[in-house]
Amino acid sequence: MLNDTIAAISTAIGEGGIGIVRLSGDKSLEIASKVFKSAKGKDIKEMRSYSMAYGYIVDPETNEIIDEVILSYMKAPNTYTREDIVEINCHGGVLAVKKVLSVVLKSGARLAEPGEFTKRAFLNGRIDLSQAEAVIDLIRAKTDDSLNLAVNQLKGKLSQKINSLMDKLLGCLAHIEATVDFPEDDVDELVVNKLVSDLQFIVSEIDYLIKNAESGKIFREGLRTTIVGKPNVGKSSLLNALLEEKRAIVTDIPGTTRDVIEEYINIDGVPIVLVDTAGIRKTDDIVENIGVEKSKEYLQNADLILFMLDASRPLEKEDEEIIDLIKGKNVIAILNKMDLPTAIDVDYVKGRFKHVVNASVKKEHGIDEIKKAIVDLVFEGRVSSKNEILVTNVRHKDALVKAKESIVKGIETIKSGLPLDLASVELKDSYLKLGEITGNIVAEDIIDRIFCDFCIGK
């Protein structure tokens, strides 16, 4: 219901300098006036937009002063939700903020649902769906690059690209619809070739977005990177070196790590979810065996595997078993303990893995090379985060894939010489799929475009 007024705590729950209770709706100022008492005795109903008032929040039932606050007022439509907004800036204690919210709710506001302020911004047309989704990305961003991507999407960079593709698609549909509505006009080969060329261009543009979506997903969700290897090869030492702190216990005793340790790091702007696992081996120790099984589970879900090998020892059966487990995965093989005499078959390892790094983690040699290998692998054959338009959302990628499939079918229909209206069905479906990304699905635009761009029948 957009005709009611919602309220919620807009700052993180916990102790802090300031806590904010936000109201949105046409009765925001009216409700606030029931609980706010101006220090100068002024009626806040007369407040100008984008102004503030100093005073107190008072429980209207008991007349008890709850907190000393600053109240700000923003009048529709120039607000986040395009509705009247009131923000009560109170002290950031948990109890104070909750009590302020409580009296606001008792005075006529409804508790907002999760994300409802942003949802109202979308429903009221201030932002489209992809921009609304960028808000949560902005909040969750853990690196500068992640933040930049979210800001670009919030500014409408992706929306502009999608709308441009939809506009080109409408042009193609206009050609087709015109030939269907005016069959007496022959469609020559040049027109058909131009139509196919235009559609292929759209496919190439969608392909570019799909191709780079994996990098975008990494910046949005983080690269799940799992460190694996048999016991005592230096996995925990690598975790500590990458974190630059002693997070994991390191000993010479095999099997020290029995559980999974998960930490977040930032490597050159790439958010990494780093997982140190128990050494994979057969063991009779019940607790260690549980850890080994959990390690295998993490392997299946990893985006990248850092496979550690002890270069001072020949390959053993346990190493070979891990190699079998990680087949088909993105792997960086790390030959650790290279400061000791080399016993491992280096050429064999390099023949099995595309990315191999020499290191001596204990002596902090090779750490920068490992970081560089991770970043290079993330962007191998793809764009970097500095690209202005990067798809970061799985929903967007799925819609793009389906839109591309429909256009490809449409092209095949046109090339086969079948009636063009059959291709139109596929292209309309593609148009709707692209519209799902922005939330702007208006197929009726096709009719208007026919007579806007063409003068058939003159």
Same domain assignment for residues 255 and 337: yes
- Known binding-site positions for K(+): 232, 251, 253, 256
Q: In what order do the strands lie in the sheet with 223-228?
A: 261-267, 270-276, 223-228, 304-310, 331-336, 355-358
- Give the separation between CA 44 and CA 26, rounded to whole angstroms: 15
Question: Which domain CATH number covers 69?
Answer: 3.30.1360.120
- Give the separation between CA 9 and CA 440, rounded to whole angstroms: 30
- Known binding-site positions for GTP: 232-237, 251-257, 276-279
Same domain assignment for residues 112 and 150: no
Q: Which is it for strands 51-58 and 65-74: parallel, antiparallel or unpaired?
A: antiparallel
Q: In what order do the strands lie in the sheet with 85-91?
A: 36-38, 51-58, 65-74, 85-91, 18-24, 6-9, 110-111
pLDDT, tens only, 80-125: 999 999 999 999 888 999 999 999 999 999 998 888 888 888 889 8
Same domain assignment for residues 11 and 116: yes
pLDDT, tens only, 172-210: 988 887 776 555 555 567 778 888 999 999 999 999 899
Same domain assignment for residues 35 and 141: no
- Give the separation between CA 32 and CA 5, rounded to whole angstroms: 11
- Does 387 have pLDDT greater than 60? no
**Range in 1-15, 123-137, 277-291 with the lowest mean pLDDT:** 277-291
- Strands (E) in 255-373, as ranges, are 261-267, 270-276, 304-310, 331-336, 355-358
State if pTM tops 0.85.
Answer: no
- Known binding-site positions for Mg(2+): 236, 257
Same domain assignment for residues 369 and 253: yes
Same domain assignment for residues 67 and 194: no
Q: Are 116 and 144 in contact (CB under 8 A)?
A: no
Domain count, the chain: 3
**Mean pLDDT over residues 16-39, rounded?**
94
Helices and strands (DSSP H and E) totals, the chain: 16, 13
Whether residue 452 is contained in a domain is answered as no
Same domain assignment for residues 159 and 295: no
pLDDT value, residue 447? 30
Tokens of 413: 């229909």
Same domain assignment for residues 337 and 404: no
- Known binding-site positions for (6S)-5-formyl-5,6,7,8-tetrahydrofolate: 22, 87, 126, 458
pLDDT value, residue 364? 86
For 334, half-sphere exposure in the C-beta direction (CA atoms, 13 angstrom radius) is 31
> Which positions ≥6 away from 292 have C-beta within 8 Å?
278, 279, 280, 281, 283
User: 3-class DSSP state for residue 139?
Assistant: helix
What pLDDT band is residue 137 in, cutting at 50, 70 and 90? confident
Higher pLDDT residue, 33 or 132? 33
Whether residue 446 is contained in a domain is answered as no
- Give the separation between CA 283 and CA 77, rounded to whole angstroms: 66
Last residue of one domain, picked from the residues 126, 159, 186: 126
For 308, half-sphere exposure in the C-beta direction (CA atoms, 13 angstrom radius) is 30
* 156-163 LR contacts (CB < 8 Å, sep 24+): 156/127, 156/128, 156/131, 157/388, 157/389, 158/130, 158/389, 158/391, 158/396, 158/437, 159/128, 159/130, 159/131, 159/437, 159/438, 161/205, 161/209, 161/389, 162/130, 162/434, 162/437, 162/438, 163/438, 163/440
Same domain assignment for residues 177 and 199: yes
Whether residue 454 is contained in a domain is answered as no
Last residue of one domain, picked from the residues 92, 126, 160: 126
| Mean pLDDT estimate for the chain | 82
pLDDT value, residue 250? 40
Whether residue 317 is contained in a domain is answered as yes
- Known binding-site positions: 22, 87, 126, 232-237, 251-257, 276-279, 458
pLDDT, tens only, 273-315: 888 876 555 555 555 555 566 666 767 778 888 999 999 999 9
Q: Domain span at residue 36?
A: 6-126
- Give the separation between CA 241 and CA 370, rounded to whole angstroms: 11
pLDDT value, residue 408? 95
Question: Which domain CATH number covers 179?
Answer: 1.20.120.430
Question: What are the Cα distances from residue 443, in Å, to 128, 182, 447?
Answer: 17, 20, 8
CA 78 from centre of chain = 27
- Give the separation between CA 379 and CA 181, rounded to whole angstroms: 48
Whether residue 313 is contained in a domain is answered as yes
Report percent pLDDT > 90 for the chain. 39
- Does 385 have pLDDT greater than 60? no
Same domain assignment for residues 32 and 113: yes
pLDDT value, residue 395? 84
- Does 39 have pLDDT greater than 70? yes
